[in-house]
Structures are given as structure tokens and as C-alpha cells.
Structure 1
């Protein structure tokens, strides 16, 4: 199988660039797209068929938690990992279908790989 196809969703350009740099530095992962809103993430996921979506929690319009709910309800849904500058206990993501939550300050190649591997084990993907 080829690289894990990653869609980045964040309304702040510095964070989009930082996430793209982490993905590029992680063996077996590639960025296939980058968008700024929850609404755009739904259209981009349908168009690009990513394996993994890195979703910011706080987005204008449809926030990342609701966008995650909508994405994981789609046929052939991607794995979604939520990211935020907030601590996990400050995020109400229960039941949205995200595979993991990673604080942006802790996001790096090891955390990206661990989140993907954990999601693949629970969903049977490889």
C-alpha cells in the first residue's frame, strides 16, 4: 500500500504549514490537500479521498467536532484526528467519531504515527 493520504483542516495558516511539515517529515504519509473550514473539509474529503484527516477543533462555521461527526458518517470515511491548542479536558469531542486527540504543542511524527497505527488497529485498516 502507498503512503497514508492526509487532508489538513485548520483556519490558521501557520498551523496548516506546521502540520504539513510534520506530515512531510513522517515516513509513509503525504499531504493531499489543505482547507480552512469544516464545510470545505467535507467537500475536500469527497474529492480527494484521504485516509486521514487532521482536523482543528475550533473552526469558523461548522466546527471540527461537528465536521468530524459528518465525515465519519460518510461511506469509506477517513480516520479523523482532532487537534487543538486546548487541553483534551477542555474539548467536548465525546461521540464524534475521532480516532484520537492530539494537542497541537505535542504534534509530531511520533504522535502522528501512533494515532494512525492506533486507528488502523481498531478499524482493521493498514
Structure 2
């Protein structure tokens, strides 16, 4: 029924995925296309659903969210990846700035307005 922004939510904690799903649902035209609990699963789901936006936790079992971000962007540079964590900005791992993510949002600050501000380009399909 029209254009939408598909979102992949990646977090190893179900309660946060539930919150993130609710926040995404409050953004008009956005929908959750898939969820993942690990970095490896995030890469597989990104390949399967081709999301426009990935909400990526930094600390994941298996490969980190930072490495998963690199792999997802290597496969599809048009994806908008946003890193999420409870870290203060100054406490992010040093490689977070170079992984290709467009933004960092503290989990406490994940709101519909913050997501709308990302304005990913519309994806075909």
C-alpha cells in the first residue's frame, strides 16, 4: 500500500527489540522487516530483507555490531546503519567511528523523532 522504509532491528535482548519495534511503528511509513539477535544473524537478515535502515546494537554475541555494520555496508552501501548502545558517546569503542554507521543513538534516546531525522532514501522493492 505504498512506499515504506524497511527496518532491521538487531539486539540480543528481546525487551529492547520490543521497545525498538514499538518506536519504529510510531514512524509513519516505517515498518520492521526483520529482527536479529547476533551479528551473524544481522548479516543474514540484511541480505534476505534488504532493509533501508538497520538499528544495530554494538555489543552482540558472535561478531560485534561494528563488524556486522561493516559487512552489511560492504554488501549494500545504501543501507543506513545506526549504532545503538547504552554507552556514553565518549565511551564508544574506537572503531565505532570508522565502521560506516551514519549515527549513534543511546538506547534511552531512541524516539520516533530521532528516527525520522535519519531520512533514508526510499528503497525500491
Runs of 4+ off more than 6 Å: none
Measured against aligned partners, the alpha-carbon deviations of 1:71-121 in whole angstroms (never above 9, x if no partner) come to 11113542100100111111120210001100000110001111x22xx4x
Alignment match, 1:8 = 9
Alignment match, 1:56 = 57
CA distance in 2, matches of 1:27, 1:75: 24
CA distance in 2, matches of 1:75, 1:47: 12
3-state DSSP class of the match of 1:73?
helix
Structure 2: runs of 5 or more not aligned: none
Q: Does residue 109 of structure 2 align to residue 106 of structure 1? A: yes
| Equivalent residue runs for 1:1-126 within 5 Å | 2-75=3-76, 77-92=78-93, 93-114=96-117, 116-117=118-119, 120=120, 125-126=121-122
3-state DSSP class of the match of 1:34?
strand
Higher relative contact order (Cα pairs below 8 Å, separated by 6+ residues): 2
RMSD: 1.3
Aligned residues: 119
Structure 1: runs of 5 or more not aligned: none
3-state DSSP class of the match of 2:75?
coil
C-alpha contact 1:82 1:98 (8 A) present in aligned 2: yes
CA distance in 2, matches of 1:77, 1:39: 19
3-state DSSP class of the match of 1:62?
coil
